[in-house]
């Protein structure tokens, strides 16, 4: 454990608070016009997934835990959880659904992800910024709507709904942002 000032904490860091470990989901430094600057942290307790929100003075010292972050390859998911493999040692790790959370639909077999572990237990996951999926269902284009840059709803092969340009039809592969599922471009493959 290392003591750091609160303003240096970022999303994904792990802190020790009252003997329990928390992973930071959101960190923001707030500098009001009058008063002391503070750091607002939204955190999830690693043991049971309870979310809390805390405020620290920016100069306050906080205990930061050492977390091992390595690239892993996603293999598959089952009732046990999400299975990842370390490509260097071929060790397999199972991450529970609470760690993967709302990123689950974007995981693809063979995808390289950054998996953070504390004492061998997975605690957080970082996906690549973009992923490619096939459009399985979309509405047909209505003639005469070419003047505006209107987007139409579409369902991707992972079940996520997004908005795509009118020229995209079912069967087209598209690139989307994994953070929010928004359309980026047509896949170049």
The tens digit of pLDDT for each residue in 58-111 reads 899 999 888 888 999 999 999 889 999 999 999 999 998 888 888 899 999 999
Check: pTM over 0.95? Answer yes or no: no
Q: How confident is the model at residue 50 (pLDDT cuts 50, 70, 90)?
A: confident
Query: Which of these ranges, 30-39, 44-53, 179-188, has the smallest mean pLDDT?
Result: 44-53
Looking at domain 2-64, which CATH architecture does it have?
Answer: Roll (2.30)
d(CA 163, CA 114): 28
Tokens matching residue 64: 């930061």
Closest C-alpha to 24, from 7, 5, 45: 45
Domain with CATH 2.30.30.30 in the chain: 2-64
Q: Assign domain 68-126 to a CATH class.
A: mainly beta
Query: Which of these ranges, 2-6, 43-47, 162-166, 173-177, has the smallest mean pLDDT?
Result: 43-47
CATH 2.60.120.10 fits 130-186, yes or no: no
Domain with CATH 2.40.50.140 in the chain: 68-126, 130-186
Confidence check: pLDDT of 2 > 90: no
Predicted local confidence at residue 125, as pLDDT: 85
* Share of residues in the chain with pLDDT > 70 (%): 96
Mean pLDDT, the chain, rounded, equals: 88
Please, what sign has the CA dihedral across residues 28, 32, 38, 41? negative
Mean pLDDT, residues 130-159 taken together? 82
d(CA 23, CA 17): 11
């Amino acid at each position: 454990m290392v003591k750091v000032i609160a303003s240096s904490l970022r999303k994904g860091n792990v802190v020790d608070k009252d003997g329990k470990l928390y992973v930071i989901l959101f960190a923001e430094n707030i500098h009001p016009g009058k008063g002391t600057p503070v750091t607002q942290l939204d955190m999830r307790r690693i043991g049971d997934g309870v979310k809390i929100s805390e405020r620290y003075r920016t100069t306050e010292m906080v205990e930061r835990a050492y977390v091992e972050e390595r690239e892993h390859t996603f293999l598959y998911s089952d009732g046990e959880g999400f299975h990842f493999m370390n490509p260097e040692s071929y060790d397999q790790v199972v991450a529970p659904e609470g760690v993967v959370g709302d990123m689950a639909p974007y995981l693809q077999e063979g995808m390289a992800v950054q998996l953070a572990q504390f004492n061998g237990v997975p605690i957080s996951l970082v996906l690549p910024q973009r992923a490619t999926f096939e459009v399985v269902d979309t509405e047909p284009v209505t003639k005469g709507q070419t003047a505006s840059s209107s987007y139409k709803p579409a369902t991707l092969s992972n079940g996520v709904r997004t908005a795509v340009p009118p020229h995209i039809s079912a069967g087209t592969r598209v690139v989307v942002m994994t953070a929010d599922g928004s359309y980026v471009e047509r896949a170049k493959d």
